[in-house]
Chains A and B, each alone.
Chain A
Amino acid sequence: MTIATKIVDWAALGDVALISLAIGLTVTTTLAIAVRTALAAQDQSAEGNSGPALVNRVIAGLAVLAALSVFVLGIYEIAAK
């Protein structure tokens, strides 16, 4: 066993890096999409396009729910340990 493997848990570190990258990117992208679609829905409502506006609102709502549930799950994981 080398000093590097002795003092660093490379497996755990790799998991943290991969999950952070994957979930971090997913959460920020999802919420950015939520903002984009919510603003688009506002514009479409103002223009009288209620159909597309409703679709965008639903997408925005689902995106917010998805991102928030990741945070809630994360906290739950800590609490459940």
Chain B
Amino acid sequence: MSASRGTGNFTRVMSEDILFYLVVAVALAFDFTNGFHDTANSMATTIATGALKPKQAVTIAALLNFAGAFISLTVVATIAKGIVDATAITPSIIFAGLAGAIAWNLATWWFGIPSSSSHALIGGVVGATIVAVGTGAVKFDGIASKILVPAVIAPILAGLVALISTVVVYRIIKGIERNRAERGFKWAQIASSSTVALAHGTNDAQKTMGIIVLTMISTDRLPASGFDVPVWVIVACATAIALGTYTGGWRIIKTLGNDVTEVRAPQGFSSESVAATVILASSHFGYPLSTTQVVSGAVTGSGEARPGNKVDWSVIRRIVVGWALTLPAAAAAGGAAEGMVELFGEDNPAVGSLIVAVLGAIACFFLWRANQKSKVDPDSVVEFAPGPEPVAVAA
């Protein structure tokens, strides 16, 4: 009897350990996808204008994302706060939410859509929570205020400011020979893009730290309050996001740098400077906006403002549809993952999670194989070299 109880305890502890390490591994995998998904935010326009070569750009972005992860820890342990009932969260729900977020991040990367990784993460956790404990644990007011409203505001605000800024910039440089002006703006563009990369690392690496800390609290590895974030968590998250950034989400870089509009250095500088300003201002006032949506809006606004330039609105429509689908699709994926965890691990969530993780890894392998056949890489990411065009003034 006592031997059987001892074996049961051992199995339970082993299962908890396995589940914990699995959540940590999947959280770092999400952090990696977050990095390569969002490289475009800081470096797409810089690559498009030739201010930096693709590999140089992703290296700088990776280093700044890594450094940014060490700057602040304010977001840690607040992830999903106000979105779902924190007392309902279990490691297996976190696992399923992360799996859903990764699935949506990979899907949007495949189609080259710059969608918000944070929204995918929240969608995944919401979906998994609904399947696990029902809609009662979801705070729909929080979703509206933290996701839906900012999703509308971010691109419009950044787009408008970038539009005005670009008009002003082109008025200031009116009459200067284009190549000379572009050389000057390329340096300014590198500075503004680097600021976006640093701000991105500061904000986004913390989300994964928050997930790991939440799991540590729920498994009694950390106290619920008055804890210090373990150094290994900070280093692991910083490394994962930096590696992801270095890998470069070339498909999304191509969309933002080439497909939305043709980007020139003054315009790219304007959009990245405005994006950096909006991101920093929103962080300062505690109204966090999606970096992806801010940058996409700024690129569109500045593209519309450059004299003689056109924005491809069919690409914008595709991006907006991607944004609209992010929350429900990630929620559906997170819910499906939670359903599979419960199906395969009725008595032991660790077993279910392990099976889902293996299935996910197999799916990733096939996606990687498919990507080899239609690869967008550093050599093919820039489709055109900007041709000669005199600097003109906006009408």
**Chain A residues with a Cβ under 8 A of chain B:** 6-9, 12-13, 15-17, 19-21, 23-25, 27-29, 31-36, 38-39, 67-68, 70-71, 74-75, 77-79, 81
Contacts and interface: CB of A to CB of B under 8 A. Distances in A.
A33 B72 contact: no
B176 interface: yes
A7 B278 CA distance: 21
A interface: dominant SS = helix
A81 B153 CA distance: 24
Nearest to B283: A78
A44 B12 CA distance: 78
Interface string B28-58: 0000000000000000000000000000000
Given A6-B141, A16-B282, A78-B283, A28 B269 contact: yes
A69 to B, nearest CB: 12
Contacts of B180: 39
A15 B282 CA distance: 9
A44 B119 CA distance: 52
B297 to A, nearest CB: 11
List of 8 A-B pairs having minimum Cβ-Cβ separation, nearest first: A74-B280, A35-B184, A28-B165, A24-B277, A32-B172, A7-B145, A19-B281, A12-B287
Contacts of B158: 20
Interface of B: 71-72, 74, 141, 144-145, 149, 153, 157-158, 160-162, 164-166, 168-169, 172-173, 176, 180-181, 184-185, 188, 191-192, 195, 198-199, 202-203, 266, 269-270, 273-274, 276-278, 280-287, 289
19 contacts: A12-B285, A15-B285, A16-B281, A19-B277, A20-B157, A21-B160, A21-B161, A21-B164, A24-B273, A28-B168, A28-B270, A31-B273, A32-B173, A34-B184, A35-B173, A38-B184, A70-B277, A74-B195, A78-B203
A77 B280 contact: yes
A20 B269 contact: no
Contacts of B286: 12
A32 B277 contact: no
Given A7-B149, A23-B277, 18 more contacts: A6-B141, A6-B145, A9-B287, A23-B281, A24-B278, A25-B164, A25-B165, A28-B274, A29-B165, A29-B172, A35-B188, A36-B172, A67-B191, A74-B281, A75-B195, A75-B198, A79-B71, A81-B283
A81 B71 CA distance: 10
Given A16-B282, A75-B199, A29 B169 contact: yes
A50 B250 CA distance: 46
